[in-house]
């Protein structure tokens, strides 16, 4: 059985710079021969993981960090009054190395850290701490190694299951992502602009008319097409059949409502999407960005309304060409209601959860 949940979002951002490149400019991409605004998938996934903290319990999530030794050390100390901080640190380092995580030597006034960012669930950290707290921890190296490695292979958190984990030093600890998030691109051509600003010193002398600071910030505004998909069957294989529908519902909520926070205090750019289109597919995920390979032209209608119309027509045409309509589909907004069932977002997510439960429990 194949079961994919696709999320399509059209969202207009006012002047903003939510995702910058190495020069501080808003990220862009050339698509269809024109320059488009772009927000990287990494930036949006980070924003989603922040939103996850409001949707999932702590033990369901993890942390991507180099400070794994400190993470295990805190768990050991929180449950063992008889182990000193120094001993807890040594045990934390040893159990991580037993599991296959490379720890590099500490610099002056710093603690040991992993050689690379490591994605560890809070449940995995707790179990590793339990292993390291055992009285015979240092005596049974072979058993400890096996137990520690199994702890990192099992007890996978929701965010690891969705976004995956790669461990170059030990591929056996890898976890394939069950979700994919596309780079968001504008449906139309953009040209970045510059805001020249000055800051006045509040306590400067009255005879000083100059600015205390001046500079420029680059920005753009755009109607973005955003896309993400979840492989429900693969996710169920990792986190269990009883949890998969609820997790996908929360994933959808986080994807739709989250926003990367670059320069948010400067631009106050948080908006709701104009259109959300969710499909349940049993063949393959389908990214509909091809609707905007030809950039939307400027008109008195702006970009949002034409973008919605073009998305609808492109989807209808594509489905007819390949005889591949979604198993079920939902939308918020007026334009797509001819190809999907119009519904409010809270009800959409609830119905999506129910339908996934029906489908996946009936087949797995």
**pLDDT, tens digit, for every residue of 111-145?**
889 999 999 999 999 999 999 998 777 777 788 88
Beta bridge partners of 121: 62
Residue 187 pLDDT:
98
Q: Which domain holds residue 324?
A: 4-55+178-186+216-363
Is 237 found in the same domain as 358? yes
Residue 200 pLDDT:
84
Is 268 found in the same domain as 339? yes
**pLDDT, tens digit, for every residue of 39-57?**
999 999 999 999 999 999 9
Q: Kindly state the tokens that stand for 95.
A: 């159990």
Q: Is residue 171 part of a domain?
A: no
DSSP 134-180: STTTTT-HHHHHHHHHHHHHSS--HHHHHH-B--TT-GGG-B--SEE
Q: Is residue 319 part of a domain?
A: yes
Residue 210's pLDDT band (cuts 50, 70, 90): confident
Q: Which of 227, 224, 246 is closest to 356 using CA atoms? A: 246
Is 49 found in the same domain as 98? no
Instruction: Report yes or no: 338 and 312 within 8 Å, Cβ to Cβ.
Output: yes
Q: Alpha-carbon distance 351 to 347, whole Å?
A: 6
**pLDDT, tens digit, for every residue of 297-317?**
999 999 999 999 999 999 999
Number of domains in the chain: 2
Tell whether the model's pLDDT for residue 356 goes beyond 80.
yes
Q: Is residue 242 part of a domain?
A: yes
Is 71 found in the same domain as 115? yes
Q: Alpha-carbon distance 124 to 132, whole Å?
A: 12
Q: Alpha-carbon distance 163 to 156, whole Å?
A: 11
Residue 363 pLDDT:
61
Is 262 found in the same domain as 115? no
Residue 57 pLDDT:
96
**pLDDT, tens digit, for every residue of 89-110?**
999 999 999 999 999 988 877 8
Q: Is residue 273 part of a domain?
A: yes
Is 182 found in the same domain as 39? yes
Is 101 found in the same domain as 25? no
Is 95 found in the same domain as 221? no
Q: Is residue 198 part of a domain?
A: no
Residue 322 pLDDT:
95
CA distances to 12, 193, 224, 308 from 304, in Å: 7, 20, 9, 6
Residue 354 pLDDT:
96
Q: Kindly state the tokens that stand for 323.
A: 């005889």
Q: Alpha-carbon distance 298 to 225, whole Å?
A: 16
Q: Is residue 309 part of a domain?
A: yes
Q: Alpha-carbon distance 296 to 8, whole Å?
A: 17
Q: Is residue 166 part of a domain?
A: no
Q: Which residue is it, tokens 């289109």?
A: 277
Mean pLDDT is lowest, of 6-20, 39-53, 67-81, for: 67-81
Residue 283 pLDDT:
95
Mean pLDDT value of segment 166-181: 93
Is 256 found in the same domain as 112? no
Is 232 found in the same domain as 319? yes
Is 319 found in the same domain as 228? yes
Instruction: Report yes or no: 118 and 166 within 8 Å, Cβ to Cβ.
Output: no
Q: Is residue 354 part of a domain?
A: yes
3-state secondary structure of 282: coil
Is 127 found in the same domain as 38? no
Tell whether the model's pLDDT for residue 364 goes beyond 50.
no
Residue 208's pLDDT band (cuts 50, 70, 90): confident
């Amino acid at each position: 059985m194949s079961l994919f949940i696709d999320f399509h979002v059209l969202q207009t951002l006012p002047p903003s710079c939510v995702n910058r490149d190495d020069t501080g400019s808003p990220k862009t991409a050339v698509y269809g021969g024109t320059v488009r605004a772009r927000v990287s998938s990494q930036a949006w996934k980070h924003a989603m993981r922040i939103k996850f903290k409001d949707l999932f319990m702590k033990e369901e999530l993890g942390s991507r960090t180099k400070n794994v030794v400190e993470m295990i050390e805190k768990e050991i100390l929180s449950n063992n009054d008889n182990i000193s901080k120094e001993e807890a640190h040594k045990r934390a380092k040893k159990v991580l190395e037993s599991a296959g995580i490379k720890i590099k030597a500490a610099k002056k006034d710093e603690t040991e850290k992993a050689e690379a960012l490591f994605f560890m669930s809070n449940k995995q950290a707790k179990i590793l701490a339990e292993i390291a707290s055992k009285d015979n921890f240092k005596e049974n190296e072979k058993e400890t190694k096996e137990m520690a490695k199994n702890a990192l292979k099992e007890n996978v958190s929701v965010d690891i299951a969705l976004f995956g984990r790669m461990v170059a030093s030990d591929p056996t600890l890898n976890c394939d992502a069950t979700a994919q998030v596309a780079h968001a691109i504008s449906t139309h051509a953009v040209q970045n602009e510059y805001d020249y600003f000055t800051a006045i010193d509040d306590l400067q002398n009255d005879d000083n008319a100059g600015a205390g600071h001046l500079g420029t910030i680059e920005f753009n505004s755009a109607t973005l097409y955003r896309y993400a998909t979840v492989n429900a069957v693969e996710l169920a294989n990792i986190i269990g059949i009883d949890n998969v529908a609820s997790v996908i519902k929360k994933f959808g909520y986080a994807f739709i409502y989250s926003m990367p926070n670059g320069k948010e205090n400067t631009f106050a750019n948080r908006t709701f999407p104009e259109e959300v289109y969710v499909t349940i597919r049993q063949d393959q995920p389908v990214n509909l960005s091809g609707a905007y390979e030809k950039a939307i032209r400027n008109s008195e209608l702006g970009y949002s309304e034409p973008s919605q119309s073009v998305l609808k027509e492109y989807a209808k045409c594509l489905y007819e060409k390949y005889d591949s309509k979604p198993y079920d589909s939902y939308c918020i907004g007026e334009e797509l209601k001819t190809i999907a069932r119009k519904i409010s977002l809270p009800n959409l997510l609830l119905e999506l959860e129910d339908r996934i439960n029906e489908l996946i429990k009936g087949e797995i």
